Structure 1
Amino acid sequence: MGYRLAIVGATGNVGRELLNILAERNFPADDVVALASSRSVGKEVSFGEKAILKVQDLEKFDFKGIDITLSSPGAKVSAVHSPRAAKAGAVVIDNTSQFRMDPDVPLVVPEVNAHAIAGWTRKGIIANPNCSTIQMVVALKPLHDAATIKRVVVATYQSTSGAGKEAMDELFGQTRAIYVNDTVEPQKFTKQIAFNVIPHIDVFMDDGSTKEEWKMVAETKKILDPRIKVTATCVRVPVFVGHAEAVNLEFDRPLDETEARAILSKANGVVVVDRREPGGYITPVEVAGDDPVYVSRIRSDPTIENGLNLWIVGDNLRKGAALNAVQIAEAMVKGQHLKAAA
């Protein structure tokens, strides 16, 4: 016998991916409920190849009897319904930004800080980090263990899927319009996204950074080490799925590229593709649908003491969101944080 699961935001990009991954990994679920807003009630979503689920109304749903809630509906919706699900007795794994910096809510990447899962009992909620943070800390953790990281400088190249289906549709529509010489009118983005890059993700903050950049700073400190200095520039690029990051690291002791490559090659959740030849590296289009975080272009930085450069790529809908949430649920089952399935 298995667990009862509720998927909140089941019709969105991440919600659909959650259902696919749960089925792929044969998560021990006896019952899976798909939830979304009233606009989506009655729609059908696939639970892998196992079943078709009819979407139910989140507002009216009673979470009593649900063991695990995987939630990805947007922060404002999560603020209302994740505590409601937790109060009913479900463990909530929340993929929005709503609870990430709450000191009573663990922020978890299983390859990095699985021990933090135990803190779920304080509020009944575990937060899933931001997509760009997840893939970066998976690659940084084994290096940080070997030679403490002092400073991180990261520039991201984030796909449109990170902004939802409407953003992906806008990239497609604008690309087609340009080819047929139609007018391009930005709707989801502030500027044209097709054949362009936009250095603006989420809202601007008082210091000139965007909230996406702030998330990478604050979340890395909470997950990995509060002493690490982090600065980020987050950029939206005309890619459908897959985030890439150019990362510059400064360590407190020498760590050359050979040692770094060997460490990363053995790291959990990391695949190194780093041949110094044309095409000897990974790009976003190649990782769509894959689980690992890929690392390429590993090389020393001679401009700073103990410096290293990395190119990190991952599927933002899988490891950057849905897969990480499912891995948290799997770790809870394995660590017996949940009551045994009846």
Structure 2
Amino acid sequence: MPSTAIDEDTEERSSEHDGDAGDPVEERSRTRVDSALPHTKRLPPTVEYDGDIHGLRCRRCDNRYDPTIDGLVRTVECCSSLAEVDPDDIPICEVNLKLTPEERVLSEWSDTQLLFLQAVYNAQQLRYDPLEYDLLNDSMIRLQEYVGIDADALQDLLETDLLRHDTDHPHRLYTVTPDGRSAIGESYRQGVDYGHGQGDLEESSQHVMAVEVARRYLEREYVDDPSSRVVEVVPYYDLDENHRLDLAGVDVEGEFVVTVEIERINHDVKRAVPEDFDKMAGCEPEEAIWVVMTQSSGHDVLEALNDPLEGPVRVEKTYASTTPPQQFKINTAGLTAVYPVEWLKDAFLDADGS
């Protein structure tokens, strides 16, 4: 069931306006939903939020700063330094829930629940500065703390399928479902939010994370390498109306040099994996890279290509289940490497994911 708890800051402000106590729209209008700062349970030790001015203050000298990530950094560095701050204590700042007070009153969900849905959605859209929240490295438990949602209220969102728990590997990730997007008034626009170069329509946070890891890997190891023919990395490359590459590295003529498929193993693995293999093979790339979520998933991919549900065997070579996928030595049209996403990130990207 949806949470019926009233936000603490709403209770406090309502008590100051007895004349408006019976007007739920007025009560909701006093709760800020454009920012997480009034709600966060975590802030650096030298920083405090001032609700009267919707700004930040340095606790040591009382200087005031903007309620943005830039303002937060300036507040920290006013009388301290970022090096002295636990990165988890730097919260997201802007949330920008787009519902009106009237819409929030009509919603069956509390402001805190709506804020959390918006924060997760923003995170899976890569809208936050990595200092605030980095999808590649940060658990979404941090987002729970930044908007102040409790376990029961979060569980309600999961049980009603407004939110899905993707994974706890390598860190906890949630995804806002289509119903969740509707609850916060977020619409998907083809060519802007999804489509060629933008994203998949029903993409999970885990898939977004893996695509971003692979994109940074291709940029660093191919585009930035003078000896490579790759001049551009295109995520979500549409081949036609029904087929899309997760990533493509193309040369100056737009020809495929390297293709990448992000594979999240599901019940349809023996059909889906060979189809993805054929899709990449048809592009005739020099390299066809598979990025998987775990080591065992890499073996699931190989097994599906060794013994597909339909059609010929795609890959004949086999490996013991103890062999790390990154050690596979395979050179076929649709597979030249298999990399677990966490291994790829740790091996090729800097500590900050760049």
TM-score of the alignment, normalized to the shorter chain, above 0.5:
no
TM-score by length of 2: 0.27
User: More strand per residue: 1 or 2?
Assistant: 1
Q: 1 or 2 for the larger relative contact order (CA 8 Å, sep ≥6)? A: 1
TM-score by length of 1: 0.27
